[in-house]
Amino acid sequence: MFTFNKRIIISLVALFLVVLYLLGCSPKEKSQVVAKSNLKKETKELQSLKVSKEDKTIIPILAYHHIKRNPDNFIAISPEMFEKHLKYLKENGYTTITLDALYNYITKNKPLPEKPVILTFDDGNRNVYLNAVPLLKKYNFKATFFIYPLVIHPKGRSFMSISELKKLHKLGFDVQSHTWSHPYLTKRGGNESGKAYINRIKKELVKSKNWLESTLNKRVEYLAYPFGVYNTEVEKMVLDAGYKLALTIDEGVNIKSTPVTRIKRQIIFKKDTYKNFVDKVTTLPLFVLNLTPKDGEIIYINNPSVSATLQTTKDLNLKTIKMEIDLKKVDIYYNNVTKKISLSKSMQFKKGFHYVTIKARDKNNRLCEASWGFIVKGGGK
Ligand SMILES: [Zn+2]
């Protein structure tokens, strides 16, 4: 009995092995094919990721406020310094483009010149009209002016007059909206109901757009957030009001995947040296993941953790990584394994909008920047 069984078992095992061998090849090959096609798919995805990561077209947008002799506030520069900027752009092959061109590139993939740059001027200061406009004309540069009509009077003093605004438009410069009265769009008044707040913000967005459109007889579709503040609720209202792009003052440069309501700009400060300016124009995007808090998020505690993870450290000089919150350097902890950058200790935040920038130099010493903003409401919902 035992021998018989053993023989049967041996035969069955042999038969099983033969069958397995015969059948085996086919599934094995099939799995190889599947693996191969997966690999192909993955490689393809990786390649497309790589292409988007290495997006060759980088669009810096500069944000100026005052151009005047003896610059007397932190966002004023002299006409001489301003001309140095224009000279740099010209000599280094930059082409000034319009916001239309940026919008068409982001949404319709319409190509841009090789080294595009956008010049913007906020608030409608008269010194810009008097000192910057002649230089822009001299260099034959395009520029966009963000105006809040509340301060535009028929005669004009520290701000441009209506006729100057019309002249600006006639000269071929782009005039766009900076809301009606320059409020913090994310800030609800103490006694204001949710509904009253929404109506007020809608009015700020629509009234300015309508006034500029009828005064200048042109389309107004771009907005610069006053003080650069925004949140997801405001972004939605901006799109609903008919704007196609909205510009922040989050530091860094734009690429094809930059969200249309979070266009980055480099503010030019009085304290900026010529080298700082060159850094701002030549900045590269720094690719980060897991932004905490999220971009445009409203936070109801006053000590949120602030962190982000580098997507890649390739070509970066890791010793140069730093984080700035509201333009001030903060102490950070960088984890070499997870590539996570976080605050080294808990921080108390005031109510309001906070700007976060992560900066690092690449191995060619070029500045790379990632930035985002969040709102601290504090005191619970
Ligand atoms: Zn402003």
Is the model's pLDDT at 8 over the cut of 80? Answer: no
- 132 and 153, same domain (yes or no): yes
- 172 and 247, same domain (yes or no): yes
Task: Give residue 55's pLDDT.
Answer: 66
- 226 and 245, same domain (yes or no): yes
Q: Which residue has the higher pLDDT, 16 or 91?
A: 91
- 220 and 306, same domain (yes or no): no
Distance in Å, CA 224 to ligand 1 centroid: 8
Distance in Å, CA 249 to ligand 1 centroid: 10
Distance in Å, CA 124 to ligand 1 centroid: 9
- Please report, for the domain that includes residue 303, its CATH number: 2.60.40.1220
Distance in Å, CA 226 to ligand 1 centroid: 5
pTM: predicted TM-score of the whole model, two decimal places:
0.84
Task: Give residue 67's pLDDT.
Answer: 98
Q: On the CB side of 166, how many CA atoms lie within 13 Å of its CA?
A: 12
- 268 and 316, same domain (yes or no): no
Q: In this structure, is the dihedral angle defined by the CA atoms of residues 151, 155, 159 and 161, taken in order, positive or negative?
A: positive
- 307 and 272, same domain (yes or no): no
302 neighbors 378 (Cβ within 8 angstroms) = yes
Among the candidates 222, 256, 285, a domain finishes at: 285
Task: Give residue 157's pLDDT.
Answer: 85
Residue from 304, 310, 305 nearest 289 by CA? 310
340 neighbors 334 (Cβ within 8 angstroms) = yes
Across the strands, what pairs with 67? Answer: 77
Q: Is residue 47 part of a domain?
A: no
- Please report, for the domain that includes residue 132, its CATH number: 3.20.20.370
Q: Domain range holding 195?
A: 56-285
Q: What is the pLDDT of residues 148-166, one digit of tens each?
A: 999 998 777 899 999 999 9
- 300 and 155, same domain (yes or no): no
Distance in Å, CA 86 to ligand 1 centroid: 22
Is the model's pLDDT at 189 over the cut of 80? Answer: yes
- 162 and 273, same domain (yes or no): yes
Q: Is residue 31 part of a domain?
A: no
What's the domain count of the chain? 2
Element (H, E) at 83: helix 79-91
Among the candidates 253, 285, 317, a domain finishes at: 285
- 138 and 267, same domain (yes or no): yes
Task: Give residue 17's pLDDT.
Answer: 41
Q: Is residue 40 part of a domain?
A: no
Task: Give residue 98's pLDDT.
Answer: 98
Q: Is residue 29 part of a domain?
A: no
- 345 and 254, same domain (yes or no): no
- 334 and 259, same domain (yes or no): no
Distance in Å, CA 122 to ligand 1 centroid: 5
Distance in Å, CA 8 to ligand 1 centroid: 90
- 349 and 221, same domain (yes or no): no
Q: Which residue has the higher pLDDT, 27 or 329?
A: 329
Burial of residue 151 (CB within 10 Å: 0-12, 13-18, 19+) is: middle
Q: Is residue 51 part of a domain?
A: no
Is the model's pLDDT at 13 over the cut of 70? Answer: no
Share of the chain above pLDDT 70, in %: 85
